[in-house]
Amino acid sequence: MIAAPIAPFPAPNLVSLGDLSPDELRLVLDTALEIKANQTAYNDLLRGKRLAMVFEKESLRTRFTFDIGMQDLGGSATFLDLSNGARMGARESVRDMAKNLERWTHAIVARTYRHRTVVELAQNADVPVVNGLSELLHPCQALADTMTLIEHWGDVKGRKLVFIGDGNNTCHSLITAATKLGMDVTVCAPEGYEPDAEIERAAVASAQETGGSFTLETDPIVAVKGAHAVYTDVWASMGQEEETEERAAVFSDYAVNEQLMEYTDHAKFMHCLPAHRGHEVSRGVIDGPNSIVFDIAENRLHAQKAVLAMLLGGEGQS
């Protein structure tokens, strides 16, 4: 099988999907779909390339999919686990870590608490840096989310996507990607838990450019009417464990259950996982026929393979 040429990634790093134009985002997603459809054609693309994975937070999907993805492309990955409480910048500066890792590896994936840590790595490393999750953004998740919707629907432009719950890192990257694709996006959150205002403004601007829309809502029933996809996430993310009880009370009316889904247009159900059944989502919804959560989890592998392939194996890359 002859592999189609891989275009270079449209940015030197993947810190935020906000750095990509709508056309550039589509290029990444098209590459992910191509690699998924012709997986064995790219087995040697990154032979001899090494990936550093530095994680301050626990991980199942991000760790396995980047590691397996690098292997599938012919390269190798080395994992540094800092989830026991160590932080980048504590033992030695983030800059020094970047300057060390660039001498040994060809790219860095960082999963951090502070978004600033990923930014510092990208500013100081002479190799590509990929944001594997920070407290502000989760770009690789949003690539898998939108790739999965394209697989199910083809063109996603004009489809209504509703995110219900905390305006967190997953929400931020999702609304960034979806508005760049021309989707009609609604975020439904309690007052005080809305997405970051700057990210909201960028989503509005993207929607105006692509013909989509972005709105905020506090009533879940109003929000999901006519929705083609409904997305939720845990109410307390990693690092917010002390707020679990408080957040459970705040978000109790924002659970996605069978009754709420009745107001949608036979919506797909989406979740980045891990999920807490009986809390943010009912078992009947997440394990029901309209749930695509494991399709999304599978596509984390292919979306991230596209990012790695384009950053390290795209035409014109050394």
Decide: 18 and 176 in contact? Cβ < 8 Å.
yes
Decide: 165 and 317 in contact? Cβ < 8 Å.
no
87 annotated active-site: no
138 annotated active-site: yes
Decide: 118 and 15 in contact? Cβ < 8 Å.
yes
Of residues 61, 106, 115, 138, which has the active-site annotation? 138
- Quick one: residue 226, left, alpha or beta (phi over 0 = left, psi -120 to 50 = alpha)? left
71 annotated active-site: no
Q: In whole angstroms, what is the distance from residue 253 CA to residue 243 CA? A: 17
63 annotated active-site: no
Of residues 111, 159, 271, 302, which has the active-site annotation? 111
Of residues 166, 172, 272, 304, which has the active-site annotation? 272
272 annotated active-site: yes
Q: Which residues lie below 8 Å from residue 93, measured CB to CB, with a gap of 6+?
A: none
3-state helix, strand, coil in the chain (%, to 5): 45, 15, 40
**What are the distances in angstroms from CA 82 to CA 58, 71, 86, 201?**
9, 22, 5, 34
Question: DSSP assignment, residue 6?
Answer: P
Q: In whole angstroms, what is the distance from residue 51 CA to residue 304 CA? A: 12
Of residues 72, 145, 184, 233, which has the active-site annotation? 233
Of residues 115, 140, 141, 247, which has the active-site annotation? 141
- Residue 26, strand partner residues: none
- What are the catalytic residues? 111, 138, 141, 233, 272, 300
